[in-house]
Amino acid sequence: MERPVLAARARLVAGVAALAGLASSAALLAPYVVARGFCGPGGGCDKVAHSAYATLFGIPRALLGVIAFALVLLVVVIGGNVVRRLAPWIGAVMAIEGVHLFLIQALVLHAFCKFCLVVDAASLVIGVALYLEYRATRDDSRRRFAPIRLGLASVIVFVSPLLLALGQPKVVRSSIAPEPTPVVAGKKVLREFVDLECPYCRLTHVSVKKALASRPDIVVERHHVPLGMHEHAKEAAIAACCAGEQGKEEEFIDLLVSKKEAPDTPTCRLVALELALDMPKYDACRTSAAPRKRLEDDAKLADKLKVEGLPTLDLEGERHVGALDDHTAAAWIARH
């Protein structure tokens, strides 16, 4: 094959690979842009997307991928000897990063993301193609290469995944918890920080309860953090702790959050009566130091673990802050 033909074909292959990588990077970027994405809960794609390797110095790798493939497309389009000499080095960096990310999936995460695999393969192809193009091109022979067609294609393949993502389920965004939750008697521990007057906490309690119905391998460790802005939050937390003294804290909270009334003292007492609690014991507990000591300990733990919003849920080193509806709770729990 003649050198000019080989160079043109190698350049075309690099451009096509860059478009494929750009499209896949845009798909991975969608959760950050439109809060929706293509990775179903619990799959390899979801595991990779929510791992510590999904970002680099706090920057989503998907965004870095978009920038990198856009740069490759510029290299493909632009002519000149300077770009010719830079191209194989850019290709080498892309290829090395592609191999690096593939090995992370294979050897560290033991999970594969289909979009990441396209990115990895595209990076390798780009590395090879730009090297071949460099070898087949003379110093003064590199010209501009299909700038209008590649430019238009770039816009289409970047925007299309973002638009298609709008029709996908909402994505649950999480962070890394300050410390992993323990495993007790072979069961995973879901550590939950709540305020029983907070409407988002109440919504999340119901949704998480549904999600955990089919997960006997997960137990809840609840910590009460009543906020000063909620008038009845502290008395509701104390009442729940006192129900817990009789082994019915979970049932108490389930019934309390199902009621439309504010969780004030009369409502909490009504819930206690409906659960047939020992009322003299319940009343004595409410005025004792025991529940207040528990709230103090819960507040100290929340401060230690840097809880900054409610509800906060920690599970297997992953943290979610904010409300979860039925769908997002099921998706979050399914990752574990």
Per-residue tens of pLDDT for the chain, all 336 residues:
678 788 889 999 999 999 999 999 999 999 889 888 888 666 788 778 877 788 888 899 999 999 999 999 999 998 778 888 899 999 999 999 999 999 999 999 888 999 999 999 999 999 999 999 998 887 666 777 778 888 899 999 999 999 999 988 776 666 667 777 878 788 999 999 999 999 999 999 999 999 999 999 999 999 999 999 999 999 999 999 999 999 999 999 999 999 999 999 999 999 999 999 999 999 999 999 999 999 999 999 999 999 988 999 999 888 888 888 888 888 889 888
Question: In this structure, are residues 28 and 158 in contact, taking their beta carbons and an 8 Å threshold?
Answer: no
Q: In degrees rounded to 5, what are phi and psi of residue 85?
A: -75, -30
The one-letter amino acid at 205: H
**What pLDDT, on the 0 to 100 scale, is given for residue 308?**
87
Tracing tokens 């817990």 back to the chain, one arrives at: 244
Give the span between the Cα atoms of 78 and 67, in whole angstroms.
Answer: 16
Give the span between the Cα atoms of 143 and 269, in whole angstroms.
Answer: 82
**What pLDDT, on the 0 to 100 scale, is given for residue 175?**
67
By C-alpha distance, which of 8, 268, 254 is closest to 129? Answer: 8
Residue 164 to residues 64, 151, 268, Cα–Cα distance (Å)? 21, 20, 47
**What pLDDT, on the 0 to 100 scale, is given for residue 42?**
62
**What pLDDT, on the 0 to 100 scale, is given for residue 163?**
94
**What pLDDT, on the 0 to 100 scale, is given for residue 160?**
96
Question: In this structure, are residues 215 and 333 in contact, taking their beta carbons and an 8 Å threshold?
Answer: yes
Give the span between the Cα atoms of 224 and 238, in whole angstroms.
Answer: 9
Q: In degrees rounded to 5, what are phi and psi of residue 136?
A: -95, 0
